[in-house]
Amino acid sequence: MLIRFALLFAIMLLIGMQGGKAQGPIHLGVNVDEMGAFTNMVDHTNRYSKATGYDANGWPMSDFDLVLFDGRPATEWNGTIDDPDGYRIDYSGAYQSSFRGQGTVRASGTAVSISDVRYDAASNTTFFTLNVGGYPNANHGLVFLSFTNTQRLPSSPPSSGITELRVMRPGYDLATTQIFTDAFLRLCTTANFECYRFYNVQNIWDGEPTYPTRTTWTQRKLPSSASQRSMASMTGQRDGWCWEYIIALANTLKKDIWINVHMSCDSQYVTSLASLLKTQLDPAINIYVENSNEVWSPTQATHGPYNQAEATARGITFDQNYARRCVELSQWFSTVLGASAINERVRVILAGQQAYPGRSDNHLNFIKNTFGDPKNFVYATSTALYFGSTKASNTDPTVINDGMIEAIDAQITAPTSALYRKTHITKAAAWGLVGGCTSYEGGVSLPEGGNTNNLAAQIRANRTPAMANVITHSYRPGWSELGGGLALYFTLASAYNRYGCWGLTDDPANPDRNAKMSAVRALLAPTTDVGDNSVSLERDVVSCTAYTILGELVASSTSMRDVVQQIQPGLYMIVVRSSNGHITALMRSVEH
């Protein structure tokens, strides 16, 4: 008991010795990914085939096949799995399903079957249950559906297709109006994110037609569409999630949103979008507006050629046209939400390039010379806080983690480096931008691009407890303490394989599978002042030895409980952590 008392006293003494000013808040958001998002599995897929045509909403007008989902880990379809731990998401269960019309539905894949098929003539609706099993065996989560003998209406000819296909995740009834799963909403709120960016789900890079074609408001995706992914081959619609779903999620989360606007969207599209946001989005939610994403190369995806063709038509450079479009978005939004909303509720982003700071100079100078002071039109510049590892080839994942810290340090301590983070922050401050320099994306870029060199160790490096220190290092001393503004992690959830380990978790139903999420949660934990010290309060703390020791102490010592309680009423210290010279006290409510 005395040893434990002395341990706690020493820790509290250590806190008292830290002195100095309280740490400022870290402004951190996240890029949303669709993994596990929708209650209706059909919203996740656009892999229709064999149809002779599609209606305006994308529903097949003949018999057809559909890849409903493929949850296999990469690259099991080739006989091997990238993930050395072979982690699988569980897709098993009974999926209540229906479609408007008649037809024969069959399922194939791995351990799948159809049951309880019935047709209700009064509503012209066919009901069935899709049964998925096989977890955790090989090739689990692979489901194909085949629809034959279809008849859209009783008066329709044979093989006329169906509409309104719904395949609800286990636990969700066909009658539900709930769009997003409970697990997805829990994932989104696992940490106290300040902002959510929707680039991932908007299909920005592949969303542009060929210039000079414009995208109009009447062409946009709707909740009634057959898919919330690109339907370019079905209806010509290249956008991802409909705006109504983005707004619905934003109103549920009640945090700021960061949206990307396709370059081909005409003025009527943008003003209609602004009007929709004005009338349907919670007025307390701020709106970050970005022109496309990473418009760096005239040959990149669909957005690069579109920007280059428009620049050529206007007689200006590639970078100048990007900057012109950013001002254009600002002006169009101001016509709907008012000039006073610019740099307040509406925050237009002038995104640059981490490795080429000169691109931001091109943007800013063109705006100044053509329109006036950039700070009157744009809220902030933006860069990407990605990092690799100086020890990427080491077979020890923790050594790879050490190399990540070194890679981050190189970006924050080497002014001559092209990746020097302070360059972007200083530039934004010099131009007097209200939001300074933001970071639209960031995180671990190892592995990536399909590279399989040392793949197992690199994937496991993303799952070590040490990743918490890496993430903390990148965003506190590596960004916030340099004067950086809002930063958005990339992404909320993703599979871990040769193409990247981008997600804070690799299972949307299990946010804390690794230390990334806990690190972000700690960075965003509310703070309270203890004298001259700032104490970070984290209510859900991972298990550790100190937790056990101090937990027993608090439970058995009334006098010490009272002392600790003075730090924050109702909360008790359970562990104190040192990270790069900073002392963080983690708290948790404890029953008396």
Domain residue ranges of the chain, discontinuous segments joined by +: 2-23+529-588, 41-167, 196-378
Say which residue the tokens 């640059």 belong to.
Answer: 352
Strand-pair category, 380-387 with 346-351: parallel
Q: Identify the pLDDT of residue 591.
A: 35
pLDDT at 119 over 70: yes
Which of 2-6, 403-407, 419-423, 443-447 is least confident?
2-6
Was domain 41-167 assigned CATH 3.40.50? no
Spatial CA neighbour of 520 closest among 583, 582, 442, 585: 442
User: Tokens 């530039």 label which residue?
Assistant: 427
| pLDDT (0 to 100) of residue 428 | 98
State residue 23's pLDDT score: 63
Residue 476 has pLDDT above 90, yes or no: yes
Q: Give the pairing type, strands 142-151 and 102-109.
A: antiparallel
Burial group, residue 265, by CB count within 10 angstroms (0-12, 13-18, 19+)? buried
pLDDT band of residue 526 (cuts 50, 70, 90) is confident
Quick one: which of 497, 492, 378, 504 has its CA closest to 438?
A: 378
Beta-strand (E) ranges in 136-291?
A: 142-151, 163-167, 195-197, 256-261, 287-291
Given this model, what pLDDT does residue 529 score?
52
- Separation between Cα atoms, residue 441 and residue 488, nearest integer Å: 5
Structure-derived torsion over alpha carbons of residues 553, 558, 563, 567, reported in degrees to the nearest 10? 80
Q: What is the mean pLDDT of residues 120-140?
A: 98
Summarize the confidence of residues 232-257 as an average pLDDT.
Answer: 98
Residues 501, 447 contacting (CB under 8 angstroms): yes
The strand ranges marked E within 186-251 are: 195-197
Q: Which tens digits make up the pLDDT trace of 257-312?
A: 999 999 999 999 999 999 999 999 999 999 999 999 999 999 999 999 999 999 99
